[in-house]
Amino acid sequence: MPVNIVVPELGESVVEATVGQWRKAVGDHVSVGEVVVELETEKVDLEVGAAQGGTLAGITRKEGETVKIGDILGTIDESTTGSPVEAGERRQFQRETAISPAQPPPVPLADSAAAPRATPSARRLALEQDVDLRQVRPAVEGGPITAADIAENAPVRTGPATAAPVPAAPAGPQPTPSATTRTEERVRMSRRRQTIAVRLVEALHNAAMVTTFNDIDMYAVMELRRRHMDSFKQKYGVSLGIASFFVKAAIAALRAFPRLNAEIQGDEMVLKHYYDIGVAVGARDGLVVPVLRDADRLSFGALEQAIKTYARKAEDGTLTLEDLRGGTFTISNGGVFGSLLSTPILNPPQVGILGLHRIEDRPISVAGEVRIRPMMYAALSYDHRIVDGLEAVRFLKHLKELVESPGKLLLEG
């Protein structure tokens, strides 16, 4: 009898998903627990496995459709118990009998059952670029192939590698070419990209958002990192970056100005006396903000380890809903991509976000003398409904002083 494939629980506050890629076609054999279809949610991608072995008998919801928890995605016929080899032979026979002799045989997809393990984003990129996953080596031995692995390898095409004949140039003068051909491409936005778009617009419409700026002399931090880089990496297994300094400084500033670590609920302010700091990282489908929980209790080493882990998981597409849940304040570092200055948009229901930018040498006045120092512009966006301008300016100034004198972080921490 047929068994339904249904949309599972999607996590806290997530009620909808978009059908991503079907990993199996109708008629394919599936084993218990084998991934059948991918779902895209506003936070993470999910893989739906088969609860019963058998044959995929039907697909109810196609790729790109919006579904809710409990919706039927397809059906598995558990009465069909043929082996995967038999099922493959049956599908090959059906393909051969459906194609005329004049037509070439179909080219197998890059993520067929014989392909190695890969993340959802890697499989999508492989299909888009026509790359054979079997010829891509993952960066982590034994780990899944990621989108970065595909980007770092020369594309290996899965289609026939026949070169197109080059026509001989006709004799005589050539006509002047017409205007350049203008093409367009229509690409479906992922569920995460759609959610990001909606929430950013909501933040602009619903919050009285204002941004204040300051510049920070990074000389002391850069020197401290230079002196302790090797011993830090030897002890913790990660490099000492600048993110941990700003997380520590932000927490100290939040303690001094608690309304930036709050949210608005109706006509009340909810002041939070814990510090779950979101750190924005780039992923292929858009920006994601994993959360450093109880960040005030973490050492510099623990912070750097957590940030590196989140960055890797974002690239691999393995972030979980728990990784992204909640958060009381956000730090976004556009400087790693070369941004000099920007106005970060709030991450609701949070009322504050700190934007970091690239470090560059600039002349400044130090004790009456002109010095060349590594400087960074920092931006604090805040909700003016709950945070006053003076409070925001003093918050950013306090953070600046802590970063410029990192020894104070030990006292404030």
Residues labelled catalytic: 384, 388
Q: Which of 237, 249, 407 is nearest to 312 (CA)?
A: 237
- Within a 13 Å sphere around the CA of 106, how many CA atoms are in the beta-carbon half? 13
Q: Distance between CA atoms of 8 and 245, rounded to whole angstroms?
A: 40
3-class state of residue 79 by DSSP: coil
DSSP designation for 366? E
250 burial class (0-12, 13-18, 19+ CB within 10 angstroms)?
A: buried
Residue 142 gets the label, from left (phi > 0), alpha (psi -120 to 50) or beta, of left
Cβ atoms of 342 and 334 closer than 8 Å: yes
Q: What is the dihedral of CA 36, 38, 39, 40, to 10 degrees?
A: 180
- Within a 13 Å sphere around the CA of 92, how many CA atoms are in the beta-carbon half? 7
The residues, ordered by sequence, that sit 6+ positions from 350 with a Cβ below 8 Å of its Cβ are 263, 278, 327, 328, 329, 330
- Give CA separation, 104 vs 95, 98, 128, in Å: 11, 12, 21
- Within a 13 Å sphere around the CA of 198, how many CA atoms are in the beta-carbon half? 8
Q: Distance between CA atoms of 178 and 106, rounded to whole angstroms?
A: 37
